[in-house]
Amino acid sequence: MTSSPLASRAVPAVAARVRSAPATWAFLGVGLLAIGLYFLLPPDVQSVFYVVIGFSSVMAIYVGAARNLPKSERLPWQLFAFGLLGQVAGDAIFAVYEVSLNREPPSPSIADAFYLAGYPLLALGVLLVLRRLGGQTSRAAILDTLVIFSGVALVQWVFFIDPYNHMHFGSEFARLVRMAYPAVDVLLLVAFAQLLVGPGGRTRAYRLLLGSIALWVVADEIFGLNSSYEGGAWIDALWLGSYVMWAAAALEPSMARIAVPDRRRLPRLTSTRLGLLALASLTAPATLLIERVSHHRVHAFVIAFGGAVLGGVVLLRLAGLVHAVERAGLAERLARREAEQAQQLLAFQNEQLLEIDRLKDEFVSSISHELRTPLTSIAGYVELLQEDEEDAEKRGHLTIVGRNAERLLALVSDLLFAARLQYGRLELERSPVDLRSLVEQCVDSAKPRAQAASVHLDLEVEDVPQILGEQAKLAQLLDNLVSNAIKFTPRDGRVGVRLTAHHELIRIEVSDTGIGIPDHDRERLFERFFRAQSALERQIQGTGLGLYISKAIVDAHDGRIGVDSLPGEGTTFVVELPAAA
Amino acid sequence: MTDARLVLCADDDEDILSLVSLRLRRAGFEVTTAADGAEAVEVARARRPVLAVLDVMMPKRTGYEVLAELRGDEALCGMKVILLSARVQEGDVARGMDAGADAYLAKPFKAQDLVAKVEELLA
C-alpha cells in the first residue's frame, strides 16, 4: 500500500474532476460542435440557431449557479445569466426580423436596449465575484482600477467612440446609441482587467470565466474597428464561444470556491498587474504616436487630459507605495526598539537572578561557617581533655560531650545540605567513580561503629563498570545507608553490603536484620524530616534527613532508590545507578 | 632559607588559634601565630616558616589573599600552605586549591588529621 499524504490529498481533487467532467466538458463539447454546425447552416436558420446556443448557455448558467452555490451566493451568476439574457433577447429580435421580415431591424431598435442593458449587469457580476475574494477595496486597488479605466476609456474614446462623431447618422439618437456600445465595453474591459489581476489560486471555473470575457471583448473590439458586420461572419464564433465558456464556468463545481481569497491590505504587484498598469499608463503617448503615424486627426485635448489623469493617478499610487514603505520602516524601527528594550530587561533580570543565586550561596556558606567555628573549639578542646584526663569516669563524660558535638556537627551539615536542596536539584561535579573501592572504603570506616554496636558487617563486591558521579556525594550516600543499617540493627545482628552489576545498571544493596519498617511508613520514608514510628518508639536518634538526602543524591545521579522490608526481620535498601556510557 | 620546624598559624578566633598552636607544639613544631591576614603576611615574611596553617575567613586579608601574596613572594617559594576553614562547600575547597594551597582541611578537624597532614607535607 503506497499512500503518501500527497496522494491522499490528490484523491478528492481527482474525484471532483471526474464528477465535473460530464457537465462541464459535455457542455463545452456540444457547444463547440454546435458552433461548428452554425457555420454550415443556411442564413435564415443560422440566426435562430444562434439564439438557441445563447439561450442554452443562459439556462446552463442559471442551473450551474443553482447546483453549485447556496442561495445567498448566487447573485453574481444570476447577474451573468440576466446580462447574457439581454444579449440573447437582442439576438432574438434580430432573428425575428431576419426570418420573418427578411431584413435587419432598424437602427436604433429595441434590440439595442437589451444589448446595452446587459453590459452593466455582466460587469457588476464580475465585480461581485471579485468582492467576495477580497483585496479589491483598498485605496491602492481602487487607484489601479482607475489607471486601467483611464487607459481603456482613452483608447475607447479615440478609436471607437469619437469616430461616430464624424459619420453620418439618421438622427443624433441613432449616433448616441452607436456610441454607447464602445462606451459600455469600457465596463467589461475594466472588469476583465480586474479579473486578470485578481487573486491567485485560480480554479478552472475562474479561468473559463476569464476566457469567456476575453472572447467577448475581443469580438466587440474587432466589431468596433470593422463596422461592416454581417450575420454569419467568423466573428460570431467568438461571441458564441464566449456564451458556451461562460456556461461551462457556471457548470464547473470549482466555481463555488473560485479562487483563494486575498486578505492583503495592499494588492500584490504581480508581473501581470505591473504589465497591465504600464500598458494603461502608456496609452496616451501610444495613442498620440499611432494617430500621428497613421495621419489621423490627433485628439490633442483628449490625449493631454487622459495623460494628465493617468499621471495624477499613477502619482497617487506611487505616493501610497512610498507611504506604505515608510510605515513599514517605522513599524520595523519600533519593533526593533521594543525588541532591544526587552533584551535589555531580560539581561538585567538575568543579572539579578545571578546575584540572588550568589547571595543565596553566600548565605548558606556563612551560616555553615558561623555554626562550625564554635563546634571546632568544642570538639577540639574536648579531644584534648580526653587525651589528658587520667580519671576513667571523667574521660567517659568527655567522650559523651565529644560524641554529642559530633552529632551536632552532623545535624548542622545535614540541615545545610537540606537547605541547599530546597533551592533546587543537587548540582554534581561529575567524574568517573570506581564504586568498588568506594564501597570498600565506606565499609572499612564503618567497622569501628559496627563493632561498638556488636553488629557483624559483611561485604560482598564484584568488579563493576565505572559510573559518572561525584565521589564525595556517593560516599555520603553509602555512609548514610550503612550508618542507618547499623543504627537500626540490634546486638549480634548482621548488616550486609553488596555491590553487583546488571547490564547497564550497578546495584548497591544494604541489608540488615534490624527492626524493619512497617508498610505505612515505607511510602514516606524519603520525605524531609520524616521519622518512622518504630524509630521514635525505640528512641533511635536521627533527624529525618538522612534518607531525604540519600534520595536526592541518587536522583542527581539519575538513579533509583527503593526499600524492601519485613517488620521484625530486617530491611534492604537498593540503589541502582546507571553505568558511565 | 626557611626555618625547618617553624610553622605559622593564623586565625582570628583566639580559641581555635590556641588549639591549633597547642596541637602543633605537642607534635614537636615551633609555632608562631597571627590574628589576622595582614599580620600573617608580615610574620611569614619576617620569620619565614616552613609551613602555614591559614584560616580562610580572617579580617584585613582573607586566607585566599594571604595565600596569593605568599605565592607571589619569591623568597617564600618553598613554603607549604594548609587552608583550614569552616567553609566546606565544594566551591570553597576548589577555590582554595586553585589559589595554590597544598591542602584544605575542614573545621572541625581531628588533631591527628591535622598533624598527619603537616607531617606529610614536610616529609
pLDDT in tens, A362-393: 777 778 778 888 888 998 999 889 888 888 88
Lookup: cell for A346: 531580560
Q: Say which DSSP state B60 is in.
A: S
- C-alpha cell of residue A362: 553566600
pLDDT at A431: 87
Instruction: Please give the residue of chain A at the shortest CA–CA distance from B15.
Output: A377
Mean pLDDT of A14-32: 71
β-strand partners of A499: A461, A508
| Partners of residue A407 in chain B, C-beta under 8 Å | none
B27 inside 8 A of chain A by CB: no
pLDDT at A1: 37
How confident is the prediction for chain A on average, in pLDDT?
Answer: 86
Q: What is the ipTM of this complex?
A: 0.85
d(Cα B31, Cα A13) in Å, to the nearest integer?
A: 98
Question: What is the distance between the terminal CA atoms of chain B, rounded to a whole angstrom?
Answer: 17
- Cβ burial, residue A45 (10 Å; 0-12/13-18/19+): middle
Contact at CB, B16 and A377, closer than 8 angstroms: yes
- Among the residue ranges A79-83, A448-452, A491-495, A538-542, the one predicted with the least confidence is A538-542
Name all contacts of A373-377 with Cβ < 8 Å and 24+ positions apart. A373/B13, A373/B16, A373/B86, A373/B107, A375/A405, A375/A408, A375/A409, A375/A412, A375/B107, A375/B108, A376/B13, A376/B16, A376/B19, A376/B86, A376/B107, A376/B108, A376/B109, A377/B13, A377/B15, A377/B16, A377/B19
Asked whether the beta carbons of A67 and A73 are under 8 A apart, the reply is no
Q: How far is CA A363 from the centre of its chain?
A: 48
pLDDT at residue number A336 = 94
- What residues contact residue A243 under an 8 Å CB cut-off, 6+ apart? A31, A53, A54, A57, A58, A84, A87, A212
Inter-chain touch A361–B89, beta carbons under 8 Å? yes
Position A253 pLDDT exceeds 50:
yes
Which grid cell is B112?
591527628
Residue in A closest to B89 by C-alpha:
A365
Chain A closest CA to B15's CA: distance in Å?
A: 6
Distance of CA A469 to the CA centre of its chain: 43
CA proximity to A499, closest of A432, A394, A574: A574
Q: How many CB pairs under 8 A join A and B?
A: 58
Distance (Å, whole) CA B56 – CA B92: 9
Where do the DSSP E strands lie in A357-453? 431-433
Q: Which stretch of DSSP H or E encloses residue A428?
A: none
Rounded distance, CA A452 to CA A47, Å?
127
Q: Which residues of A touch B (CB under 8 A)?
A: 361, 364-365, 368-373, 375-381, 383-384, 405, 409, 429, 472
* Closest to A58 in 3D by CA, of A99, A17, A91, A9: A91
Proportion of chain A above pLDDT 90, given as a percent: 35
Query: How confident is the model at residue A9, as a pLDDT?
Result: 43
The pLDDT, as a whole number, for residue A11 is 42
Spatial distance between the Cα atoms of A215 and B38, rounded to a whole number of angstroms: 104
**DSSP letter assigned to residue A579:** P
pTM for the whole thing? 0.51
Question: Over 70: is that where the pLDDT of B90 sits?
Answer: no
Scanning every residue of chain B, which has its alpha carbon at the shortest distance from the alpha carbon of A406? B108
DSSP class of residue A99 equals: I
Contact A376 B86 (CB under 8 A): yes
For A377, name the nearest residue in chain B, comparing CA atoms only: B16
Q: Cβ–Cβ of A376/B91 closer than 8 Å?
A: no
List of residues 6+ apart from A65 with CB closer than 8 A: A74, A77, A78, A81, A250
Q: Are B51 and B80 in contact (CB under 8 A)?
A: yes
* Chain A contacts in chain B segment 90-119 (CB below 8 A): 90-92, 106-111
B46 in reach of chain A (CB within 8 A): no
Q: Which residues contact A183 (CB under 8 A, 6 or more apart)?
A: A156, A161
Determine the distance in angstroms separating the CA of A378 from the nearest CA of chain B, rounded to an integer: 9
Q: What order do you get walking across the sheet with A505-512 strand by strand?
A: A456-461, A494-502, A505-512, A570-578, A560-566
Beta carbons of A380 and B88 less than 8 Å apart: no
Cα separation of B31 and B35, whole Å? 13
Tell me how long chain A is. 581
Contact A467, A506 (CB under 8 A): yes
What does the pLDDT look like over A141-188, one tens digit per residue?
Answer: 888 889 999 999 999 999 889 888 888 888 889 889 989 999 999 999
Q: What is the pLDDT of residue A123?
A: 93
CA atoms within 13 A on the CB side of A381: 10
Architecture of domain B3-116: 3-Layer(aba) Sandwich (3.40)
The chain B residue lying nearest A417, using CA atoms, is B89
Give CA–CA dist A382/A403, Å, rounded.
10
Looking at the partner chain, which of A373, A381, A429 has a beta carbon nearest the beta carbon of B86? A373
Inter-chain touch A409–B92, beta carbons under 8 Å: no
Contacts with A375 from chain B: Cβ below 8 Å: 107-108
pLDDT tens per residue across span B21-59: 999 999 899 999 999 989 998 999 888 899 999 998 888
Q: Note the pLDDT of residue B51.
A: 92
Q: Determine the residue of chain A that is closest to B14 in CA distance.
A: A377
Nearest of A266, A252, A254 to residue A134 by alpha carbon? A266
Most B CBs within 10 A among A360, A377, A416, hence the mutation to make, goes to A377
DSSP-derived 3-state class of residue A504: coil
- Average pLDDT in the A401-415 region? 83
Question: A380 vs B111: CB contact, 8 Å cut-off?
Answer: yes
Domain ranges of chain B: 3-116
The count of residues in chain B is 123
The grid cell for A231 is 450575420
Q: How far off is chain B from A508, nearest CA to CA, in Å? A: 25
C-beta atoms of B16 and A380 within 8 A:
yes
Contacts of A384 in chain B (CB under 8 A): 19, 22-23, 111
Which of A369, A375, A380 lies nearest to residue B87, judging by beta carbons?
A: A369
Which residue of chain A is at minimal alpha-carbon distance from B17? A377
Amino acid at A342: A
CA angle B79, B48, B41 (to 5 degrees): 85
DSSP structure class, residue A162: G
Yes or no, beta carbons of A368 and B89 under 8 Å apart: yes
Q: What is the 3-state secondary structure (H, E, C) of A392-412?
A: HHHHHHHHHHHHHHHHHHHHH
- The C-alpha of B16 sits at a distance from chain A's nearest C-alpha, in angstroms, of 6
Q: Give CA–CA dist B63/A412, Å, rounded.
A: 24
Among A368, A375, A429, the residue with its CB nearest the CB of B87 is A368
Contact A405 B108 (CB under 8 A): yes
